[in-house]
Structure 1
Amino acid sequence: MRLLRIIGLILIVVAIAALGVAYYFEQETAPIHPSLARATMAPLIPVRDFYANTGAEWGYQPSHNGSMIAWYGVEWTKTVLRVKRTEQAGPFLTLSDAQVDDFRWHSYKNELVVLSEGRLWQIDPLKPKRDNWADVTPRGFVNWRIVSSPSGPDDRLVVASNDRNPAFLDLYSVRQDGGGKQLLEKNEGETIDWWLDRHNVPLIRADRLGDEGTRFLIRDSATEPWRMLTEISARDDFTILYHPEGGKPIYALSDRGRDRIALVTVAPLTGEETIVAEHPKVDAKKAFALAENAAGPDFLTFEDGYPQYRTFSKLGEAFTKLLLDGENPVDFDILGTSPDGRFATVARSWREQSFEYFLYDLENGKATKIAEYDLRKHKDALVETKPVSFKARDGLDIPAFLILPRGVEPKNLPAVVVIHGGPAQQEIWAYNNDYQFLANRGYAVLSVNFRGSTGYGKAFRAAGYGEIGMAMQNDIVDAANWLVRQGIADKSNMAVMGGSYGGYSAALAMTRDPGLFKAAIVDYGVMNIAYQMQNNPFSWGLHLDEMKRYFGDPGNEAGLAEMRERSPSTHAANVQGAILITAGKQDRIVGFEQSEEFEEALKATGKDVTAVYFDKEGHGYDRWQTKLRRARLIEDFLAKHLGGRSGGFDYTEIAAEYLN
């Protein structure tokens, strides 16, 4: 005990000393750009509040009957799991002795199912001692994933596992205590997904057809033979939703035979589609079903600038009535629902004032506020994102989102053009922590859905095929020039940034169009297209045929030569301005060696480059330590080159280093 007290005293002394050092060094750097220096800017939000907020609480989920809520919180720098009774203000339980990697409520008991230390545990919050935890990990597996939930004490669970062959998944059933492993469906090597009915019987399966597409098979029961439902070309999007019910139409999101994705039903005997809901300009984005075993949607969203909604049930109507507030745009996330869909926990941000957490009782139409995300204390310093669009040089309409700093006249500002990854992805209107951080430092931010992005139909996406480094890149140049023409951006103080494909495009902006941007932030980017295409991992996320449509065919030398010509690493000598490079050393999608070689090429030609590689990160950054360090690098880098402000040294940098 004496030794523990001594250690405790040492830690207190170290903490006090660290705070003293922080007080001495933590000084805000005022903006030097003229448009910011003469403005009365919003209060500076500390970088720690964005990326290392020890007051943060999140992930609220209701128990099966809505009587309890569990969520994540922080004690010092450790993530913990908390539980409270719905009608009470604070938690009656905090699980802090073990790292909780994931959790959910049991489907018909007020008990938690927690993933910790590689095992699955069932925990009664009223008897939380470790000796009372029940190990319900599926037995007899090396790799496993539970794909169903029980609705009664005798229901078995379905587990997907690739133990037999790492290339594909088989289905098994187990008891709720994890034992009694039984083979449910053996994969013959072609099946890539299964859909189960509410009794956990696989009734639909999807088989891969090489590069040609996907074949969907259906059956009426476990004893019936599989028969053809439909075949989907690799050029079409088709996603089956919810649990199939024997003989009833199947809901799906599909663009088969159309330019844009619509909500459809599929006839189980003929495969014929009937449109339920579509939009004249954009794809159907996401269909929501609130009940665990739902066979159809409650509501649907479209992302045409601000989100739009269509409802299909009483639950959907009750949910959107509680969610929406007149014309106020709302970003939301459903954190959890009860099995019957009556209760839902929701994170909601009106006009991007950070998140509030609510428990919705959809039967009674009641919203109970649970808490606020800690960053919401700065809501008056946060800003709104506005949907905009501009004409590309060939006349194509390019959607984008504009974020402007608060308290500053939107004229002649330092600006950052942001490029999303993929490239087959889409920026949507939503609260974005990174953009709020940049705006708070004084920058106008324009996030661009360049041609080739998803969400706007097949034609818009196909306009990017073969246009890597050409028309797709022209859209980024045109975005920057639009900001200047609008009078928003200072032409001599613009930066460009992005990750993955966005990192490629940001780097290419510096090599293909030198002088347009004064600085670039390049996160885990593709620097050599030929190298990437010759070493593509399966986990890249795009079908190989789709990769070729965007980037070209690595199977012939002419294609490889074109890829090298469109690669930033080939033209490092062209760079004018400064580049900040970051990458994760565990990246299995775009190896950090590409960033290293680009860094070396820049240094060999005397360019201004800073590169930082994170040991414990992969493709994208998950750790708060990394996010904090990256943010500090960015704010100092942009302050130096574009003239915005910086919060300077933050005492949480000490914790990030110490707890790395």
Structure 2
Amino acid sequence: MRKLLVAAAALTLGMGAMTAQAAPSVSAPLIERTKFFGNPSRSQGRISPDGKWLAWIAPRDGVQNIWVAPIADPAKAKPLTDEKKRPIRSYFWAPNSSQILFVNDKGGDENFLLYGVDVTSSVQTTLTPFEKTRVQVLNISREVKDRILVGLNNRDPRWHDVHSLDLASGKLTLVFQNDGFGDFTLDEQLRVRGGSKPRADGGVDYYQIVDGKPGDKPVESIGFEDAGATGPIGFANDGYTLYWVDSRGRDTSVLLAQDVTTGARTVLGESPKADVGDAMINPKTGKVEAYAVNYLTTEWKPLDPAVNGDLEFLAKNLKGEVQVTSRTDADDLWTVAVDPVTAPSALYLYDRKAKTLNKLYVTRPELEGATLAPMHPVEIKSRDGLVQASYLTLPPGSDSDGDGRPDKPLPMVLLVHGGPWGRDVYGYNGQHQWLANRGYAVLSANFRASTGFGKSYVNAGNLQWGAKMHDDLLDAVDWAVKSGVTTKDQVAIMGGSYGGYATLAGLAFTPDVFACGVDIVGPSNLNTLLSTVPAYWEAGRKQMYRRMGDPGTPEGAALLKERSPLTKADQIRKPLLIGQGANDPRVNQAESDQIVKALQAKNIPVTYALFPDEGHGFARPENNIAFYATAEHFLGRCLGGRAEPFGAALAKTSMTVPHGAAFAPGLEAALKAKVGQP
């Protein structure tokens, strides 16, 4: 499986004056936070290319590490790594199956280094031992077994030079010095075949690269409107079939194959409602065998009869969202993940020849048998006629006829995704399930600028932060009120990154709409946000300016100021909870500091949770559990939902509360109890 396309007057009453709503009735027992946000028992299981080993991520002494086992006897698993604090969140097999490779950073700074660990000896090596460097894994070939290609920005922080990494010795050899390319097209022989250069207008030019030398003129020029949804995604093993996703001359991106010797292009897959978003690649040939389109749910379309029977077998025998996560070189064994939505995900080993499925594990067995809530895909119209693909989750027992509408209106949390150039999807969602279990309806709307629904939908969000993008969220709330899901006075807004911005914008720009807000790593000042983005975002800088506003022009700076929640912080009069990582390279701590300071000056209640060992979001489960414990007590006071007592939720967290602990019920006592712990 391979991804194709890869953010009025001051309040004088205070929190103490809030009137909590009547607690909603929930038929299911309260589920502990740790079951939603603690470490999964196992995750990301993948088979080695040679078919001899199975690897996954699982806790070791409470920290997520990589484990490995013989495929013939998974019970003989052993931990391969020994991270003590920072969890390992992803990994991949070396093509020769002798090592497992992974990246990790320090405290969320996103200066990722690449590590390799030997499968038999467990000896770990730092393969990119550089400071203030962010490694990119550019290509892992099924054809070349002894090395991979990586990008390093240790010479110039803006651009990643291409290096060949010898897996046995760890030797790095410069392949291409990069002085302005944002991305590269590489083949299975690990040759650099092309590269993309950003243009001043936000478009992209593609150059052919031969023997390390780029051509004088671009071979393809992509305009700004198509640049976010068009580009080459890689070669088949034959070296002349180049796959693209392409939105030129149409709205949604199609999958096409180009014969680079003749230039001929053939459309392989398309949908009028959504972009082609994923593909199955044959490990022997590199050819695309099937593709996926995700509008409300994911649909797989086979292209090669060789896998049609497999996909039909999996769909028949596994109920839920199915994804092939790894395949052997011989293509005889697959690992297959299934997401039942109302149960934790599971991983199976699929033997293609025998047509058998062997269940390897369940990611969160502690949730097996728990009463989880269905997720309902819904379409919500915006005021100007756009349609938002959205997802609604209702508390267990609140929808007696199962029609996706509660028997009576409920308090609701509008949960806004980050990006904003990303999207919400159908499937098991820990935040949805947690909030529903606490008694809330949960609505996630793919507002304009969300990706996957065609270029016009993304481009409709250009220069619309806090404007039409925010109107879409208001329209989603109006839909929920008119549909009987909630009432106007019972809606909270919550989200991370852009969702955090939307929370701040919701409370500042429309201060009477939301009862309260929970902002996680959200920017408050768009001018300072854009002035502090990491250097390695240089390739996308002009596109961001075209989509948000150019801080280098008077008009752009004025627009960004107008759309910054900080500018209208004095209009906030509803309770606010903020979570921030101190090492966040995308949304610096100053973004939260600024608005907290502004609210303090106006005596507006705000609770500020700061994590000194986190970045853009919280990687350590101890920190997630602490923040969500605070959030559910905060929401309980605001909307009346139930909350699990703090208990030991703060025992192992790094969370500090520089301001406003008194505004979150139970937080002061929990912090004092933590200080008193040995």
**1:652/1:183 CA distance change after superposition, 3 Å:** same
2:411 is paired with a residue whose SS is: strand
1:161 aligns with 2:158: no
| Map of 2:351 onto structure 1 | 361
Deviation, 1:263, is 0.6
Q: Give the residue type in structure 2 aligned to 1:64.
A: P
Out of 144, 164, 172, the position equivalent to 2:163 is: 172
Query: Retained in 2: the 8 A contact 1:301–1:309?
Result: yes
Deviation, 1:106, is 4.2
1:205 aligns with 2:195: yes
Matches within 5 A, 1:495-644: 495-538=492-535, 543-644=540-641
Question: How far apart, CA to CA, are the structure 1 residues paired with 2:124 and 2:82?
Answer: 16
Deviation, 1:179, is 5.5
Query: Retained in 1: the 8 A contact 2:277–2:452?
Result: yes
| Map of 1:74 onto structure 2 | 59
1:351 aligns with 2:336: no
| Map of 2:230 onto structure 1 | 238
Q: Give the fraction of aligned pairs with identical amino acids, expressed as a percent.
A: 26
Matches within 5 A, 1:435-514: 435-514=432-511
Query: Retained in 1: the 8 A contact 2:141–2:190?
Result: no
Matches within 5 A, 1:11-410: 33-34=21-22, 36=24, 39-53=25-39, 56-88=41-73, 90-95=75-80, 97=82, 101=88, 103-109=91-97, 112=100, 120-125=115-120, 128=121, 133=123, 137=127, 147-149=138-140, 155-178=146-169, 181-187=172-178, 189-218=179-208, 229-236=219-226, 237-244=229-236, 248-269=240-261, 271=263, 273-291=265-283, 294-314=285-305, 316-325=307-316, 328-330=319-321, 332-375=322-365, 377-409=367-399, 410=406
Deviations 1:341-395 (A, max 9, x none): 4322233112341111111223443321101122463444111211112222233
Q: Give the residue type in structure 2 aligned to 1:158.
A: L
Q: Give the residue type in structure 1 aligned to 2:613.
A: K
Q: Give the residue type in structure 1 aligned to 2:592.
A: S
| Map of 2:7 onto structure 1 | none
Q: Give the residue type in structure 1 aligned to 2:629.
A: R
Q: Give the residue type in structure 2 aligned to 1:305.
A: L
Query: Retained in 2: the 8 A contact 1:251–1:296?
Result: no
**1:321/1:380 CA distance change after superposition, 3 Å:** farther
Deviations 1:608-637 (A, max 9, x none): 321111111112221212211111011101
Deviations 1:572-616 (A, max 9, x none): 232232111111111222222222221222233232321111111
Query: Retained in 1: the 8 A contact 2:181–2:195?
Result: yes
1:419 aligns with 2:419: no
1:90 is paired with a residue whose SS is: helix
Query: Retained in 2: the 8 A contact 1:497–1:520?
Result: yes
1:654 is paired with a residue whose SS is: coil
Query: Retained in 2: the 8 A contact 1:252–1:263?
Result: yes
Question: How far apart, CA to CA, are the structure 1 residues paired with 2:103 and 2:503?
Answer: 39
Query: Retained in 1: the 8 A contact 2:496–2:520?
Result: yes
Q: Give the residue type in structure 1 aligned to 2:158.
A: A
| Map of 1:23 onto structure 2 | none
Deviation, 1:516, is 1.4
Question: How far apart, CA to CA, are the structure 1 residues paired with 2:77 and 2:549?
Answer: 58
Question: How far apart, CA to CA, are the structure 2 residues paired with 1:177 and 1:602?
Answer: 56
2:627 is paired with a residue whose SS is: helix
Question: How far apart, CA to CA, are the structure 2 residues paired with 1:164 and 1:478?
Answer: 48
Question: How far apart, CA to CA, are the structure 2 residues paired with 1:439 and 1:541?
Answer: 40
Query: Retained in 1: the 8 A contact 2:130–2:154?
Result: no
| Map of 1:25 onto structure 2 | none
Q: Give the residue type in structure 1 aligned to 2:281.
A: A
Deviations 1:118-177 (A, max 9, x none): 67445243xx4x6xx385847999966554447689844434333444433333335432
Deviations 1:534-560 (A, max 9, x none): 444445698333323333232333443
TM-score (norm 2): 0.82
1:625 is paired with a residue whose SS is: helix
Question: How far apart, CA to CA, are the structure 2 residues paired with 1:613 and 1:288?
Answer: 41
Higher relative contact order (CA 8 A, sep 6+): 2
Q: Give the residue type in structure 1 aligned to 2:300.
A: Y
**1:155/1:605 CA distance change after superposition, 3 Å:** closer
Query: Retained in 2: the 8 A contact 1:243–1:294?
Result: no
Deviation, 1:266, is 2.4
Question: How far apart, CA to CA, are the structure 1 residues paired with 2:104 and 2:610?
Answer: 29
**1:536/1:103 CA distance change after superposition, 3 Å:** closer
Q: Which moved more, 1:637-646 or 1:538-547?
A: 538-547
Q: Give the residue type in structure 1 aligned to 2:162.
A: L
Query: Retained in 2: the 8 A contact 1:387–1:401?
Result: yes
Query: Retained in 2: the 8 A contact 1:240–1:250?
Result: yes
**1:527/1:163 CA distance change after superposition, 3 Å:** closer
Deviation, 1:270, is 6.0
2:628 is paired with a residue whose SS is: helix
1:279 is paired with a residue whose SS is: coil
Question: How far apart, CA to CA, are the structure 2 residues paired with 1:454 and 1:150?
Answer: 28
Q: Give the residue type in structure 1 aligned to 2:338.
A: R
Deviation, 1:85, is 2.8
TM-score (norm 1): 0.84
Structure 1: state its 5+ residue gaps.
1-30
Question: How far apart, CA to CA, are the structure 1 residues paired with 2:348 and 2:482?
Answer: 43
Query: Retained in 1: the 8 A contact 2:26–2:439?
Result: no
Q: Give the residue type in structure 1 aligned to 2:233.
A: L
Q: Which moved more, 1:442-451 or 1:234-243?
A: 234-243
Question: How far apart, CA to CA, are the structure 1 residues paired with 2:534 and 2:212?
Answer: 36
Q: Give the residue type in structure 2 aligned to 1:408.
A: S
Q: Which moved more, 1:386-395 or 1:246-255?
A: 246-255
Query: Retained in 2: the 8 A contact 1:221–1:246?
Result: no
**1:304/1:326 CA distance change after superposition, 3 Å:** farther
Q: Give the residue type in structure 1 aligned to 2:64.
A: T
**1:356/1:315 CA distance change after superposition, 3 Å:** farther
Deviation, 1:89, is 5.1
Question: How far apart, CA to CA, are the structure 2 residues paired with 1:146 and 1:556?
Answer: 36
| Map of 1:5 onto structure 2 | none
**1:510/1:359 CA distance change after superposition, 3 Å:** same
Q: Which moved more, 1:563-572 or 1:83-92?
A: 83-92
Query: Retained in 2: the 8 A contact 1:220–1:247?
Result: no
Deviation, 1:656, is 3.2
Q: Give the residue type in structure 1 aligned to 2:561.
A: R
